[in-house]
């Protein structure tokens, strides 16, 4: 790549699936659980990177990008939609999978199968992603890293920092310090449709 900018998109399961985002790139291939391409529709991403005022319009730009790629082609299973809603409301909920499966009337193994099929990633990975987002949002809203980590259910700041580096490949403190003042707006979530249970 020789120092060229790299865009990494994490789409919410209720907004777009990985297959939708794959349409944005050419010559895409799976690499360690990620869909990687070497060419595609990147004009909006380049503009975000180059425009110092992009935090004021970045949500609209990403909405347009996801709209171009195409929203979810089929609705989310209503049981998994309830689990997603629960995760959005209670980031620090660390109940065992067996307890979460009980809330939607499934065995743990069946729950994990259905969740992965519907959402595209295993339950534990998605739950960790929700906690990461919650901690980042808390930092952007003014919390220090320790408070943000505890709010989102991490054991401590070190736990959050390790997961942040594992997820994004960068240190949390300098990365979040750069965007704290930007006040990046949330991406608009489209209403989620549900499908009949199987």
Q: Which residues pair with 159 in a beta bridge?
A: none
pLDDT, tens only, 26-39: 677 777 766 676 66
- What average pLDDT score do residues 142-157 get? 89
Q: Which long-range contacts (CB under 8 A, 24 or more apart) does 127-130 make?
A: 127/87, 127/93, 127/94, 128/163, 129/10, 129/167, 130/87, 130/88, 130/91
Instruction: Name the more confident of 65 and 99.
Output: 99
Question: Does residue 97 have a pLDDT over 70?
Answer: yes
Domains with residue ranges and CATH for the chain:
18-69 (no CATH), 78-180 (1.10.10.60)
Please tell me the predicted confidence (pLDDT) of residue 7: 65
Mean pLDDT for the chain overall? 75
Confidence at residue 108, expressed as pLDDT on a 0 to 100 scale: 94
Give residue-wise pLDDT tens across range 98-115.
Answer: 999 999 999 999 999 999
Give yes or no for residue 197 having a pLDDT over 90: no
Identify the pLDDT of residue 34.
67
Q: Is the pLDDT of residue 42 over 70?
A: no
Which range of 47-61, 129-143, 174-188 scores highest in mean pLDDT? It is: 129-143
């Amino acid at each position: 790549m020789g120092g060229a900018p790299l865009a990494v998109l994490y789409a919410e399961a209720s907004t777009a699936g990985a297959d939708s985002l794959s349409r944005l790139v050419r010559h895409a291939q799976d690499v360690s659980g990620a869909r990687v391409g070497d060419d595609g529709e990147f004009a909006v991403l380049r503009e975000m990177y180059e425009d110092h005022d992009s935090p004021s319009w970045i949500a609209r730009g990403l909405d347009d990008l996801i709209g171009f790629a195409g929203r979810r082609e089929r609705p989310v299973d209503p049981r998994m939609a309830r689990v997603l809603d629960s995760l959005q409301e209670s980031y620090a909920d660390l109940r065992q999978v067996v307890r979460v499966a009980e809330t939607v009337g499934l065995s743990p193994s069946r729950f994990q199968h259905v969740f992965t099929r519907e959402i595209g990633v295993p339950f534990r990975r998605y739950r960790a992603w929700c906690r990461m987002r919650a901690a980042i949002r808390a930092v952007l809203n003014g919390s220090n890293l320790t408070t943000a980590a505890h709010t989102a259910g991490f054991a401590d700041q070190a736990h959050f920092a390790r997961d942040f580096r594992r997820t994004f490949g960068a240190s949390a403190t300098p990365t979040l310090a750069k965007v704290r003042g930007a006040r990046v707006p949330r991406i608009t979530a489209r209403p989620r449709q549900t499908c009949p249970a199987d």
